[in-house]
Structure 1
Amino acid sequence: MTRECIVLAGGLGTRLRSAVANKPKCMAPIGDQPFLYYLLQYLHRQGIDHTVLSLGYLSEQVISWCESTPLPLRISFTVEPEPLGTGGGIMHALPAVAGNDLFIVNGDTFFDVDLTAFCTFHQQTGSGLSLALKPMQQFDRYGSIDLDNTHHIIAFREKQFCESGLINGGIYLTGKNWLNSLSLPEKFSFEKVVLEPQVTAGALSGYISDTYFIDIGIPEDYQKAQHDLTANTAKN
């Protein structure tokens, strides 16, 4: 299985600042640990042994915490010289990945995907990039995704109220060679410049996982995570 991962943790976190001021989102306190702690523990449990943190806003807080905290996996850091967008953050971190295959994870979401099963799915589809998708009911905060009967993604739909649908859960599986073949700019949105155009090319697949998911990007879900993630850690 792929054992390397980029965690995107460089965003400004403007929607969360009313609840968490002067911290990057991944450092938002959950109980007595930052959110990043729970994310790294999950990655370790799933077999990841090297994580590259793609940092930007208040990166020194993340680096200081990692260097002073015993963690169960190897951590590397890349720091954006200026905001590069989600895509630019990935490409800036890519040289720190030793192998070809890698997971990419949003640093403000926790999605309890079985990464071994996801990796098997990705290999079977032969796609350039696979997304982990979460089934959701009655939502309007996220865009939705349509699949064909072979699990290839055929459409990304704009945010609107949906009775039920699949959302992008913020975990990707791809390869350095595939990303480098796209001739991408230095600053760009991964969603707009990679995901949406590659639908037309038939290069994207969607792996459905109806497992625990939370996005701490807004205060309401950040408060929910306070209970969910600490309770889950207590069980483990």
Structure 2
Amino acid sequence: MFMAYPDIVILAGGLGTRLNQAVPDTPKPMAPVNGKPFLQYLLNHINAAGFRRVILSTGYMSEKIESYFKNKYKDLELLYSVEDEPLGTGGAVQLAFQKVQTPHFMVINGDTFFRINLDLLFQKHIEQLADVTMALRWVEDASRYGSVEFDRNNRILKFTEKSEMPKPGYINGGIYVISSRFFKAQALPGKFSLERDLFESKLDSGNTYGHIFSDYFLDIGIPADYHRAQTEFHAFEN
């Protein structure tokens, strides 16, 4: 059965403290990569995948994002959910959720480019009747991110915190599909972490799944990786 593409929430409100030395006075998603805002590469990928409605969750210097992209980009309708104060990843999603119109919605970190098949992630979520489905990625050093453990059915069992010791593992790639009914049913505070206070706290229900992708992955949160993007993103300039 065909199901319409879900609305997408992009978390684009971060302060970008670590990146500020490389791109001062610029919201992290607007950091230029080969003359284009990083966010533009995400929107190109979303547009090419056939999705049509994006809610940009903004905060720090939100006006720079809105004045650049306005309310439409290519085939995408753009809406804005603006935080008056930092609400954490969960609070930002909860505020943006007021604009979601679909039975499921997708959340994408606005400082990470993970070029997965977005439609495939959504279809896996529907097939598994999941509350939450997240994109997972194998990396040689998971210490910066923390790792994810799951069973043979891809049901997520445990999240392991970041560590000082480098070690390989599967990481949360920063893209999620969430059931709107599930999200609406939660008693959540105004400020909270989506990862710790929702995903981790609901693991006992057994309805959180991961799907593994091996596609290109880059988090521009630190200057070294932001500089990598200047070279590597030439392949994605569509």
Segments of structure 2 that go 5 or more residues without pairing to the other structure are none
The letter of the residue matching 1:133 is L
| 2:179 paired with 1:171 | no
State the alpha-carbon separation in 2 of the partners of residues 151 and 55 from structure 1: 32
- Distance apart, 1:90 and its partner CA: 0.2
For the 8 Å contact 2:47–2:76, the answer to whether it is kept is yes
Match of 1:84 in 2: 87
Segments of structure 1 that go 5 or more residues without pairing to the other structure are none
- Distance apart, 1:72 and its partner CA: 3.1
- Distance apart, 1:175 and its partner CA: 2.0
| 2:201 paired with 1:197 | yes
Match of 2:49 in 1: 46
Name the CA shift for 1:29/1:197 in 2 (closer, same or farther; >3 Å).
Answer: same
State the alpha-carbon separation in 2 of the partners of residues 68 and 146 from structure 1: 39
State the alpha-carbon separation in 1 of the partners of residues 112 and 176 from structure 2: 12
For the 8 Å contact 1:2–1:103, the answer to whether it is kept is no
Match of 1:224 in 2: 228
For the 8 Å contact 2:141–2:168, the answer to whether it is kept is yes
TM-score, normalising length: structure 1: 0.95
Match of 1:116 in 2: 119
SS in 1 for 2:94: helix
| 2:12 paired with 1:6 | no
Q: How many residues align?
A: 234
Task: Give the CA RMSD over aligned residues.
Answer: 1.5
- Distance apart, 1:71 and its partner CA: 3.2
State the alpha-carbon separation in 1 of the partners of residues 220 and 197 from structure 2: 25
For the 8 Å contact 1:44–1:72, the answer to whether it is kept is yes
SS in 2 for 1:15: coil
Residues 85-127 of structure 1, C-alpha deviations (whole Å, 9 max, x = no match): 1000001001111212111000000001111211121112111
The letter of the residue matching 1:156 is F
Name the CA shift for 1:55/1:68 in 2 (closer, same or farther; >3 Å).
Answer: closer
State the alpha-carbon separation in 2 of the partners of residues 88 and 197 from structure 1: 15
Residues 125-182 of structure 1, C-alpha deviations (whole Å, 9 max, x = no match): 1110001001111342110000101100000011133542100000000122110111
Moved more, 224-233 or 30-39: 224-233
For the 8 Å contact 1:41–1:72, the answer to whether it is kept is no
Match of 2:210 in 1: 206
| Pick aligned residue for 2:107 from 92, 104, 108 | 104
The letter of the residue matching 2:141 is Q
State the alpha-carbon separation in 1 of the partners of residues 53 and 93 from structure 2: 15
| 2:143 paired with 1:140 | yes
Match of 1:184 in 2: 188
State the alpha-carbon separation in 2 of the partners of residues 82 and 139 from structure 1: 30
For the 8 Å contact 1:30–1:230, the answer to whether it is kept is no
State the alpha-carbon separation in 1 of the partners of residues 110 and 74 from structure 2: 16
Residues 6-38 of structure 1, C-alpha deviations (whole Å, 9 max, x = no match): 000011110101101101100000011100100
SS in 1 for 2:86: coil
The letter of the residue matching 1:58 is M
Match of 1:25 in 2: 28
The letter of the residue matching 1:212 is Y
| Pick aligned residue for 1:74 from 61, 70, 77 | 77
SS in 1 for 2:154: coil
SS in 1 for 2:209: strand
The letter of the residue matching 1:204 is T
